[in-house]
Chains A and B, each alone.
Chain A
Amino acid sequence: MSATTLIQHMLTGISLGGAYALIAIGYTMVYGILRLINFAHGDIFMMAGYFMIFAMASFPWFISIPITLIATIALGVLIEKAAYKPLRSAPRMSIMISAIGVSYLLQNLATYLFTALPKSYPEVPFLKKIFQFGEISASLVTLVTPVLTVVLVIVLIQLINHTKIGMAMRAVSKDTETARLMGIKVDTTISMTFVIGSLLAAVGSILYFTDRMTVYPFSGSLPGLKCFVAAVFGGIGSIPGAVVGGFVIGICETLLVAFGYSTYSDAFTFLLLIVVLLVRPTGLFGEAVTDKV
């Protein structure tokens, strides 16, 4: 494989990784605060794809994108309020089953509403613009994704470290009960986490599907699982970890496909999960939590 093709593949990988990173942040933040794998997160990402399709059917892109973002946020918060909030004090297994139920519902709802056939994703013209650097060509979306990802992550980290709501989030994820006693509005804080997670998922969705070009009801499930693995790899609860994890998985997957092992590119992700959980369960940047006996 020549250097040019390698660079070409690396570009694709980095771009895919950027989208993964944005989704992975949603997993890591929700897990950090609720200790819940939000099985529905991948399906929120899928629904964002459909929102964009329908918005673009009647509006230009600069109106469609805000519509998509807002609709996705609304969906995320609705799910939290309807399916997770009533189960705060329930056994963990119930909340997990509820999350699976939401995922199952969204997939079935999408099949019912939009049929199981892939729908083509609308083109945002300027994102598809092709740039040529010598022999390497890349569309703008490929170049924008990693940059946008990094910018959003920096903003997010500033938000978490330096604002009141960010402080509340950190407090709730450390100790929900104590945070409540300190007068932090726990429910608002949790909703805010879902707002941020869904917003990033929507951005990720636009970047991801612009490259993939079709959406179908199950197109969120496998990327969702992969992004969860990315979050675990980086250390669940850690935002920089999720970003690194997203990029690692995106790049590895693209390279595996490029070298002709596409059958095993999905299997690779889960192998990575197993290896991480065995060798370093806290992930790259995670903190160890010991149960008190």
Chain B
Amino acid sequence: MSKKKIRDILLSVLLLAAAGGILAWLQADSSNHSYAISIIERSAIYAVVAVAMNMLTGFTGLFSLGQAGFMALGAYVTGILTIPVELRANVYYLNGIAPWLENVHLPMLPALILGGLVAALFAALIGIPILRLKSDYLAIATLGFAEIIRAFLASPAMNTITNGSFGLNNIPAFSNIFVPCVIAAVCILLMVLLINSSYGRAFKAIREDDVAAESMGINLFRHKELAFVISSFFTGIAGGLLAIYMRSIDTKTFQVTLTYNILLIVVLGGIGSVTGSIIGSFLINGGQEWLRFFDEPLSIGGVQIPLFRTGFRMVIYSVLLMIVVLFWRRGIMGTSEFTWDNLFGLFRRKKKKQAGGEA
């Protein structure tokens, strides 16, 4: 093993230990840190969706906008199955719950996986017709399906299962901050392993040139379907995590805006970079809290600043998305990944620049 490799492993272990330490410290006094905990949990959950979206958009070249729909499926499956049986009468007080579902209860982890599987199954079904479509048609078709899922979940016919337009509440929360973070980390790790495997290379080949990929013996449909199904599986799990995080959901949570927020994270972090998506998620979610003061009326010296009111934050977000697309297309990471080498390289370059400037 080379010296560098030992250094990298050591640094990575240190980083993980530090992250774990911070989480433990936050958890130890959770009532005082509830704000920070909430931001970190949400960032971790969004990071899973962003990486899953990046796997499609950045690595396979499939521009899908169905994230909100698949998240809704995962969220509802997880939500319905984890609400404690004794509380269900309260949740479904208007329409009642379907008798076959009444006593079906699953612990969190199996419920999450089942949510992911439902999303994956649905993706597999709609993938058969729509993955043959060209890029922009695919985007609009997935967007359409996400809306159909939402309409379906909220429809009166689903009242006794999804509680229709009233949504779900009383979903049990995470027992501690480690639960969502570890689950998110495992999901992302699995996706990274896939992206760096032989299958991931096939995905990238399709992104680069689908005709050439096919002439290399790669079955286009099978591999696109695979990427789509796996991405949807993790999107579904993230939806389930979001349901647990929010504790009460309804179909309005899963509007197209949610997909656009994820897209913003992916674009900001860099299309084609997993670490970029993770960084993007923490920046956007952290920033969202930080930017919250834009949404509150602000007065300086008794004078109301007129710009600051509800919705200003979202305007800033959309302007940010436009700026990144127009002027900074590679985003934070471009298509490269975080490595210790890059980090040290960055410092060295900066030093050199300074040295050069002084000379």
Q: Do A and B contact each other directly (Cβ–Cβ < 8 Å)?
A: yes
Task: Fill in one digit per residue for B136-157: 1 if any A CB lies within 8 Å of its CB, else 0.
Answer: 1101110111011001100111
The number of residue pairs between A and B whose CB atoms lie closer than 8 Å in the complex comes to 113
Contact A96 B139 (CB under 8 A): yes
Q: A93-B135, A263-B151 are in contact. Are A105 and B143 (CB under 8 A)?
A: no
Contact B63 A93 (CB under 8 A): yes
Contact A105 B318 (CB under 8 A): yes
A-B contact pairs, 9 of them (CB 8 A): A97-B321, A101-B321, A107-B257, A108-B315, A109-B315, A115-B311, A228-B140, A229-B140, A293-B211
Complex CA–CA separation, A269 to B260 (angstroms): 22
Interface presence of B206 (CB below 8 A):
no
Complex CA–CA separation, A35 to B136 (angstroms): 9
How near does chain B come to A7, taking the closest CB pair, in angstroms? 29
Complex CA–CA separation, A116 to B152 (angstroms): 24
* Least CB separation from A228: chain B residue: B140
Complex CA–CA separation, A100 to B322 (angstroms): 9
Known: A104-B318, A266-B151. 5 other contacts (CB 8 A): A96-B135, A97-B267, A98-B326, A105-B321, A222-B147
Interface presence of B129 (CB below 8 A):
yes
* Least CB separation from A269: chain B residue: B144
How near does chain A come to B152, taking the closest CB pair, in angstroms? 7
Interface presence of B346 (CB below 8 A):
no
Contact of A101 among B132, B137, B143, B325 (CB under 8 A): B325
Interface presence of B220 (CB below 8 A):
no
Contact A98 B144 (CB under 8 A): no
Task: Fill in one digit per residue for A216-238: 1 if any B CB lies within 8 Å of its CB, else 0.
Answer: 00000110010011001000000
How near does chain B come to A262, taking the closest CB pair, in angstroms? 10
* Least CB separation from B130: chain A residue: A274
Q: Considering only CB atoms and an 8 Å cut-off, how many residues of chain B contact the other chain?
A: 44
Contact A36 B136 (CB under 8 A): yes
Contact B129 A274 (CB under 8 A): yes
Contact B314 A87 (CB under 8 A): no
Contact of B144 among A111, A225, A264, A291 (CB under 8 A): A225
Query: CB within 8 Å of A: which of B309-359?
Result: 309-312, 314-315, 317-319, 321-322, 325-326, 329
Complex CA–CA separation, A115 to B310 (angstroms): 8
Complex CA–CA separation, A118 to B129 (angstroms): 37
Interface presence of A92 (CB below 8 A):
yes
Instruction: Name the residue in B132, B136, B267 with the highest tally of chain A Cβ atoms < 10 Å from its Cβ.
Output: B136
Q: B147 — which chain A residues lie within 8 A by C-beta?
A: 222, 225, 266, 270
Contact of A96 among B63, B157, B317 (CB under 8 A): B63
Interface presence of B177 (CB below 8 A):
no
Contact B57 A270 (CB under 8 A): no
Interface presence of B271 (CB below 8 A):
yes
Instruction: Name the residue in B129, B156, B157 with the highest tally of chain A Cβ atoms < 10 Å from its Cβ.
Output: B129
Contact A97 B263 (CB under 8 A): yes
Interface presence of B133 (CB below 8 A):
yes
* Least CB separation from B261: chain A residue: A104
